[in-house]
Structure 1
Amino acid sequence: MEKQMDRCNSCITLPDDAKEEFIVFVEGDELYTSMLSAISKAQHSIQLETYIFAYDQIGKTFVSALAERARNGVEVRVLVDAVGSSRWSSQQLIKALRQSGVELHWFHTWSWQHPLRYNCRDHRKLLVVDSKVAFLGGFNIHKENSKNLSGDARWRDTHIRFTGIKANEASQLFDLFWSGHLREVVSQPATGSQLLHNQTLACRHRLRCEYASVFEQAKRTVYITTPYFVPDSYTINELIKTSNRGVDVKLLVPRKSDVRIALWASRSLYAPMLASGIEIYEFLPRILHAKTVVIDKTWSFIGTANLDYRSLFINYELTLVSANRHLSETLEEQFLYDLKEAEKVSSDQWFKRDLLARLAGLVASILKRWL
């Protein structure tokens, strides 16, 4: 079996008995090309769910592709988060999709009858075509992820393409969510890869529980990439305990962020982790938006969830958890490559923060449940 790896993307073909193919993307142009190719070949159904659907050069290309398939009799359903896309979309996008026969739903629009649900967002980014091929990860649909359009300032993100049984399960999960069954799950084999909600009928903190479990089992390494690191105290303590057992725990977060207050909150949490031996790195070149966790080159998490309070407890997320070693090795290789473009945070650096930075961190940490 061959494994190919470069700076842009990687493709790992699993053993024949797994009947799955994983392709990891870290460049938006390659991902969008693959997604649009899959859309163009759709014969029966297209299910698209995204937090941001911008009506820019990238968004317009997707609108055209979706509209073309809808006009040719393919069932096309698009679920867009009302808050995530509020400043990115337009009436032109809505009109173009609906006039072509696309079913477009907005998730949790404002309602005076249910004001609290407005805070619970659909943060999932999922595309499923004909229940046979699926895409999941951190990439939204906007030009900020395109090197062709945004150059060196493009966001750094990670997405995965998979086929087979898992793609069919992703289709079922979309159907449940579309019909309003927000916490229901589908039956999945007990072994291999799993598609996890962060909130289910059985457990409203499912993703946090899964993280705690794998952190506890880690023997050698825990490598985390997240754009917004503002978790609860329990999760931080689990990471500290893991580091105290001698496990190499490394955290990669952005130096630049599209949500500055989340960056301040994140930095306010550094002290106890640095004291326990956890290594923290800040990615320097551009905005980091990837969400991956790799444990012992054995377990990997890749999906839409940040390691923050909102993703763990409030928003709706979807994460692929896999025990496939080849996938884990590839994600770890990408993590180590990203570290070359990051700066390690030292305890001296952290304690030398100026008063304004300390106050900003204090305020942000108080507001962490709402970031």
Structure 2
Amino acid sequence: MMYRLQRLAIAFTLALGLSGCGMLPVGMQAGANDQVTAQKHKAGALSLIVLPEMGHSSLLDAIRGAKKSIQVQTYIFTNYDASADLVKALVERAQAGVEVKVILEANPYIPPKPLAPGEQPTFGNNVNKETIQALIAGGVRVKRSSPKFRYTHQKTMVIDEQTAYIMTLNFTNSGLTTNREYAVVDRDPSDIKELLKIFHADWEELTYLPKDPDLVVSPNNSRARIIKLIDSAKKSLMVQCEFVSDPEIAQHLGARAKAGVDVKVMMAHFDKDPNTGRDSNADSQALLNGQGVNQLLFNKSIKMHAKMILADNARAYIGSENMTSNSLDNNREMGVLVEDKAIIETLAKTAAKDWAAR
């Protein structure tokens, strides 16, 4: 046991200090048992949290109500303002005897910003470091992300092996209070069982091929399942995603637009780089326009961090996957396919509001 703890401590030290250490791409392919049609969830198995409107109190309440176990797997987890509430709640449950495990990305990528005159670049600043230290000091079991994936970008939480939260948000102040985000509350036993198997595999750095037909999992099946959803659209496609840059996704969106489907894509708005005059979505715009997708919006009214695709106001994907090659093929990501009428209606209304707000 002591040897294992020492290994974990060494792994964390290396992960926090060495940018890119151990972060290798993988070529895991969907197997023959991959399915691209979701089974129906039972009535009441799913519900939806819409952020920022609904706030993060339900997430806090879920943590505070845990009796046996909590598993969190996420990309960025800060320890200030709203996110500090989650850190405190996890520590309190651990100290109350609940088994709390957290997997955090070892080297989260922070997009570079232009340097001010005379400003020197800084390196090796891991935004998860303070949270890792606070959680470990409070008795939470924390582990760096598996080196099997380029990044662990998944955003999930499972409470007492009974309720899962499949989210688009990081546990950050902006994710909890200002961004456009969604969280699916999932009580489906099959989904829960699969999420726990995946968490265990990633905790132990083992390989596991997901089998549940509802879950959208990178790097295993997300590309196939998201393309299947896009191709299923006959009347409309509404996409809300921070980044859309994958050529194959753009091609399939374009094919639907050329077939007469009303395709709308909302992405995050970024200020132009004063040095180049371009923003980080310029290539995405050119790519999508080149495929015939011309209804694009870079939201200024709200930070678009959600990852959601709504087909024909009847079927939807919600999860952590951006529409980028890295997200679909190399990262650990998690999403879910949804046909619940109440959730679909809420997604449609929210997306329409965001589109109108510009």
One-letter code of the match for 1:283?
Answer: N
Instruction: Name the CA distance, whole Å, in 1 between partners of 2:207 and 2:241.
Output: 24
Q: How far did 1:277 drift?
A: 5.5
Instruction: Name the CA distance, whole Å, in 2 between partners of 1:79 and 1:257.
Output: 32
Contact 1:40 1:65 (C-alpha < 8 Å) held by counterparts: yes
Q: Which residue of 1 aligns with 2:143?
A: 105
Equivalent position to 2:97, from 41, 51, 73 = 73
Give the secondary structure class of the aligned counterpart of 2:322: coil
| Greater share of helix | 1
One-letter code of the match for 1:55?
Answer: N
Equivalent position to 1:35, from 30, 35, 59 = 59
Contact 1:231 1:307 (C-alpha < 8 Å) held by counterparts: yes
Give the secondary structure class of the aligned counterpart of 2:328: helix
Query: What does residue range 3-82 of structure 1 map to in structure 2 within 5 Å?
Result: 17-27=42-52, 30-82=54-106
Q: How far did 1:163 drift?
A: 1.8
Contact 2:226 2:317 (C-alpha < 8 Å) held by counterparts: no
Instruction: Render the CA deviation track for 1:100-119: whole Å, top value 9, x for unaligned.
Output: 3211001157xxxxxxx6x7
Instruction: Name the CA distance, whole Å, in 2 between partners of 1:195 and 1:52.
Output: 21
Contact 1:230 1:262 (C-alpha < 8 Å) held by counterparts: no
Aligned in 2, Cα 1:319/1:219: closer, same or farther, shift over 3 Å?
same
Contact 1:256 1:286 (C-alpha < 8 Å) held by counterparts: no
Listed as ranges, the gaps of 5+ residues in structure 2 are 1-39, 110-124
Q: How far did 1:310 drift?
A: 1.6
1:225 matches 2:237: no
**How many residues get paired?**
299
Q: Which residue of 2 aligns with 1:294?
A: 310
Give the secondary structure class of the aligned counterpart of 1:340: helix
Equivalent position to 2:250, from 210, 216, 236 = 236
Contact 2:55 2:176 (C-alpha < 8 Å) held by counterparts: no
Give the secondary structure class of the aligned counterpart of 1:82: coil
One-letter code of the match for 1:328?
Answer: I
One-letter code of the match for 1:295?
Answer: A
1:95 matches 2:109: no
Q: How far did 1:337 drift?
A: 0.9
Contact 1:42 1:74 (C-alpha < 8 Å) held by counterparts: yes
Instruction: Name the CA distance, whole Å, in 2 between partners of 1:198 and 1:301.
Output: 13
1:284 matches 2:323: no
Q: Which residue of 2 aligns with 1:213?
A: 228
Instruction: Render the CA deviation track for 1:109-153: whole Å, top value 9, x for unaligned.
Output: 7xxxxxxx6x70000010110011111222111112354xxxxxx
- The CA RMSD measured in Å over matched residues stands at 2.6
1:140 matches 2:165: no
Q: Which residue of 2 aligns with 1:312?
A: 328
Q: How far did 1:261 drift?
A: 5.8
One-letter code of the match for 1:99?
Answer: A
Identity of aligned residues (%): 23
Instruction: Name the CA distance, whole Å, in 2 between partners of 1:267 and 1:338.
Output: 19
One-letter code of the match for 1:129?
Answer: I
Instruction: Name the CA distance, whole Å, in 2 between partners of 1:38 and 1:286.
Output: 26
Instruction: Name the CA distance, whole Å, in 2 between partners of 1:209 and 1:95.
Output: 38
Instruction: Name the CA distance, whole Å, in 2 between partners of 1:50 and 1:261.
Output: 27
Give the secondary structure class of the aligned counterpart of 2:281: helix
Instruction: Name the CA distance, whole Å, in 1 between partners of 2:47 and 2:302.
Output: 26
TM-score by length of 2: 0.76
Contact 1:222 1:249 (C-alpha < 8 Å) held by counterparts: yes
TM-score by length of 1: 0.73
Instruction: Name the CA distance, whole Å, in 2 between partners of 1:108 and 1:17.
Output: 33
Q: Which residue of 1 aligns with 2:260?
A: 246
Q: How far did 1:52 drift?
A: 0.5
Listed as ranges, the gaps of 5+ residues in structure 1 are 1-14, 110-116, 148-153, 201-205, 343-371
Instruction: Render the CA deviation track for 1:319-349: whole Å, top value 9, x for unaligned.
Output: 101233332222122111110112xxxxxxx
Aligned in 2, Cα 1:129/1:277: closer, same or farther, shift over 3 Å?
closer
Q: Which residue of 2 aligns with 1:199?
A: 219
Give the secondary structure class of the aligned counterpart of 1:326: helix
Aligned in 2, Cα 1:239/1:61: closer, same or farther, shift over 3 Å?
same
Equivalent position to 1:155, from 143, 161, 179 = 179
Q: Which residue of 2 aligns with 1:352?
A: none
Contact 1:137 1:291 (C-alpha < 8 Å) held by counterparts: no
